[in-house]
Structure 1
Amino acid sequence: MRKHTALFFVIMFLIGTDTFLISPLLPTLQTQFGVSTGHAGWMLGAYTLGSAVFALIAGPLSDGWNRRTVLVCGLLGFAVSTALCGFAGGFWAMCLFRLLAGISAAFTAPQVWASIPVVMPPARIGKTMGVAFGGLAAAQAFGVPIGSWLATADWSVPFWTIGIAALVLAAVAFFALPDIKPAASAGERTAILRRYVPLIASGKARSGFLGYLFLHLGSGTAFAFAGKWMADRFALPLGQIGTVMMFLGFGTLLGSMISSYAARKLGTATTAVAVSMSMVAALYAVMPHLTSLPAVTIAYLIIFATLGIVFPIVMGALTSLNASIRGTISSLANSTMNGANTLGAWAAGLLYVQFGGYASIGIFSAACLALSLGTFLFGGVLSPNADRAGRESASAPQAPS
């Protein structure tokens, strides 16, 4: 069983590394392809767009297929499309390959979550879920900096490395995992799509996902051009940008570890979210005006540690909306996150070029966090039931934004 746990961790680590890799590489890729700052963000947005759109259909479709086959095929597609990024001869080719990588990830990641309850004994399901979530956080702490350091040799090296690693993982998954045959008929698969209807009809669910959209829009916009801003403001080379990015990942890991403790210490999960999001909004507004790199690094560490506290609690609140369709809620949350990151990449480029650089991004992100918090509170999403669910969800490491 340990080999399955390790496999799921490494799969999510690779997907997380590939997701976040473009941000520190953005200045290098912009120069490589001769693209304007305003358009460079689409190298980020193409991946998240593909993942956002196909996450809505990948889960329901794959429920009728052998999950091992879907996982292996997803990894093969992910390996090829990511490796092709290293051969991209221009901006639009890179966007296409990033789009394909995002689509492949949308089919791969859900199979991890769906396979764990099948291949693991009941006593180890929760722990294995936590380990898989930890792979995403570890990607931001270690995978992205390692990718940045590899890129100092050549920008294409990290893409080739991830592609080769994913190819090896596909072979390992094929031999290590058993067949995971579908339990539903074709008619039941169609019914799965209708499970989105209760969420659309629920005012609390609409408020919850709107608030979740604003939360990721704010954090995603700020993250998208963080590497570009540090290169412009402090003249940092690629390797040093990766080092700073490591602190973002450490912050996420730290926050996810203390999320449950923070909720207990502040009395309720609602209070923890309100205090945390208010502090992050203030830091987003202030950080672009900091003049020293150590101060910026500390600010990023605090921001991502605080977001690491918020995300588990919010996810607990969302999944408590309807216990019978938690899988559908998770798919919609993943799609919402990637959709927000796609919009954030586009907004970051526009704001950075047209409206005063990173300072305008800081204000925009702060406003998004304020809107998110208001939507959660006035929509009744952070209720006493959500408090309990948030504390339970916070007991395991969660995915970074």
Structure 2
Amino acid sequence: MAKLTALLFFIMFFIGTDTFLISPLIPTLQELFDIPTQYAGWMVGAYALGYAIFALIAGPLSDGWDRKNVMFYGMIAFSISTILCGLATGFWSMILFRFLAGISAAFTSPQVWASIPVLFPAAKNAKVSGIVMAGLASAQAFGIPIGGLLASTHWSYPFYVIGVFSLIVSIFIYFAMPSMKPIQDQTSQLTLFKRYIPLLASRIARRSFLGHFLFNSGFMAAFSFIGKWMSDRFELSVDQVGYVILFLGIGNLVGSFGGAYVIQKFNRFNTLVAGFIIAIVCFIIVPFVPSVAAFDFVYFFIFLNMGIAYPLIMGLLTSLNPTIRGTISSLGNSIMYAATTIGSGIAGVIYAAFNGFAGVAIFAALCFAGALFYFISSGILHNQSKTKAKLAS
């Protein structure tokens, strides 16, 4: 069990690292490919777009296939497309390879969340989900420093290193991961997009996914403008902002590893409600803190909450219907990337309109409040066995 847990951790770590990898490289690639600033962000957006679109297709497809095979071939494709990014000769070739990397990740990472309830007993799910989330948290904390360190020698090295290590991980998937063939029932016979019908028809699922969308919109809206606000307010350099984000990423890690214990002690309902209320209060306070140290202290709790809440939410969502876990996981991931795009876009408008972070923080707080309302009103937090029965009926 420990080997499988470690394998899932590293899958999410390398996919997550690739997601954040290009951020410190944008100035270098912008100069190298001679592209204007307003188009440079497309190299990030291409990955997110590929992921968001194809996750909706990958989920239903994977529910009819052996999840091990989907994970293996998806990781192979991810490795190759990431290595190709290091071989890009211009802007459009980089866009293409980043788009392909996003597609590959869309097939691979949802299988991780969908496989946890299959590979591990129910009592271990929260702990394993927390460790898997720690893989993403580690990528968030260390992805930018790793990318910057490797790129200091040559801009292509980060892509080669992540690609090669991802290839090694795919080999471990082939030899260590057990087969996870689909459950055969009436749901498994549904065509591609009809697999979403049980979710769309369920009030529980609709409200839960709306809560998931608002949760990610609020978090990513604020996260996207941390660097700019700290530069504007405290006049920090890019390197100094990176160290701040590294510290906050540690909060995410702590939450990921300690989440299972917290949930076991206080139960899912109390954990999510208390965590969201604390995060809302922190969002309201953080624009008015007097120093960088105070900012670190307050925002640390937001990242801590993210580390606990995200695996808890994904665990609840993937348990809605055991026969379409891949569909649910892919939809959850697609919603996360869509929320990232929409939330950061709205935050940019708010930041410019109100000339500061206060409006963005209030927007994030409102999103968290809305998310909490929909999670509670959906009923998904109260009794998971009843929830499954209602969704299946």
Match of 1:335 in 2: 334
SS at structure 1 position matched to 2:383: helix
Distance 2:86 2:233 in 1: 27
Q: CA deviation at 1:155?
A: 4.6
Distance of aligned partners of 1:258 and 1:12 in 2 relative to their CA distance in 1, 3 Å threshold = closer
State the one-letter code of the partner of 1:216: N
Structure 2 contact 137–253 (Cα < 8 Å) conserved: yes
Change (3 A) 1:276 1:26: farther
Alignment of 1:203 with 2:240, yes or no, is: no
Amino acid at match of 2:276: M
1:199 Cα offset (Å)? 1.7
Measure, in 1, the Cα distance between the counterparts of 2:311 and 2:365: 20
CA distance in 2, matches of 1:28, 1:79: 23
Q: How many residues align?
A: 385
C-alpha spacing 1:310/1:7, structure 2 compared with 1 (3 Å): closer
Deviation at 1:11, TM superposition (A): 1.7
Residue 276 (structure 1) aligns with? 275
| Structure 1 runs not aligned, ≥5 long | 390-401
Distance 2:218 2:116 in 1: 32
Deviation of 1:43 after TM superposition, in Å, equals 4.0
State TM-score, norm by structure 2. Answer: 0.79
Residue aligned with 1:384, SS: coil
- CA gap 1:210/1:24 in 2 versus in 1, 3 angstroms: farther
Aligned counterparts of 2:186 and 2:370: Cα–Cα separation in 1:
41
Tell me whether 1:248 sits opposite 2:248 in the alignment: yes
Unaligned runs of 5+ in 2: 388-393
Match of 2:379 in 1: 381
Quickly say closer, same or farther: Cα 1:230–1:96, change in 2 above 3 A.
Answer: farther
Asked if structure 1 preserves the Cα contact closer than 8 Å seen for 2:63 and 2:326, the reply is: no
Q: Which stretch of the first structure deviates more once superposed, 41-50 or 12-21?
A: 41-50
- The question of whether the paired residues in 1 share the 8 Å contact of 2:23 and 2:144 is answered with no
User: Is this contact kept in 2: 1:45–1:343, CA < 8 A?
Assistant: no
Deviates more, 1:180-189 or 1:69-78: 180-189
Shift of residue 106 of structure 1?
0.8
**Partner residue of 1:303?**
302
Does the 8 Å CA contact 1:145/1:239 hold for their aligned counterparts?
no
Farther-moved stretch of structure 1 (216-225 vs 350-359): 350-359
Structure-2 separation of matches of 1:320 and 1:177: 21
**Structure 1 position 352, deviation (Å):** 4.3
1:44 positional shift = 3.6
Deviation at 1:261, TM superposition (A): 5.1
Alpha-carbon distance, 1:190 to partner? 3.7
Matches within 5 A, 1:2-401: 4-23=4-23, 35-36=36-37, 41-65=41-65, 67-88=67-88, 93-113=93-113, 126=125, 131-174=131-174, 188=188, 190-191=190-191, 193-231=193-231, 233-234=233-234, 236-259=236-259, 262=262, 269-319=268-318, 321-322=320-321, 325-353=324-352, 355-377=354-376, 379-381=377-379, 383-385=381-383
* Deviation of 1:171 (Å): 4.2
**Counterpart contact for 1:44–1:342, Cα < 8 Å:** no
Shift in Å, 1:143: 3.8
**Cα distance 1:293–1:123, how it changes in 2: closer, same or farther (>3 A)?**
closer
Would you say the 8 A contact 1:58–1:107 is kept in 2? yes
Deviation at 1:192, TM superposition (A): 6.5
- CA apart distance, 1:10: 1.8
Checking the alignment, whether the CA contact within 8 Å between 1:27 and 1:231 is kept in structure 2 is no
Compared with structure 1, are the counterparts of its residues 71 and 308 closer, same or farther at alpha carbon in structure 2 (3 Å cutoff)?
A: closer
Supply the distance in 2 between the matched residues of 1:262 and 1:146 (Cα, whole angstroms): 31
Provide the C-alpha distance between the structure 2 equivalents of 1:320 and 1:43, rounded to a whole number of angstroms.
34
| 1:205–1:3 CA distance, 2 compared to 1 (3 A) | closer
After superposition, the Cα gap between the structure-2 partners of 1:90 and 1:226, relative to the gap in structure 1 and judged at 3 Å, is farther
Q: Which amino acid aligns with 1:385?
A: N
- Separation in 1, partners of 2:202, 2:182: 30
- Post-superposition Cα deviations, 1:94-153, rounded to whole Å, max 9, x if no partner, equal 4443322111101122344556677x6869985766544432233233344333433444
Superposed CA RMSD in Å reads 3.9
Give 1:358 shift: 3.6
Contact 1:45 1:346 in 2 (8 A): no
Percent of aligned pairs with the same residue? Answer: 49
Measured against aligned partners, the alpha-carbon deviations of 1:52-111 in whole angstroms (never above 9, x if no partner) come to 221222132234445554334322322233234445566655444332211110112234
CA distance in 2, matches of 1:185, 1:381: 26
Distance 1:373 1:172, change over 3 A: closer
- Cα 1:162/1:257, change in 2 over 3 Å: closer
CA distance in 1, matches of 2:68, 2:268: 37
SS at match of 2:295: helix
Is the CA contact (8 Å cut-off) linking 1:23 and 1:226 kept in structure 2? Answer: no
Distance 1:300 1:275 in 2: 16
The aligned residue for residue 390 of structure 2 is none
User: Does the CA-based 8 Å contact 2:199-2:205 persist in structure 1?
Assistant: yes
Which segment is superposed worse, 333-342 or 267-276? 267-276
Q: Distance in 2 between matches of 1:147 and 1:157?
A: 8
Alpha carbons of 1:6 and 1:58: their partners in 2 closer, same or farther (altered >3 Å)? same
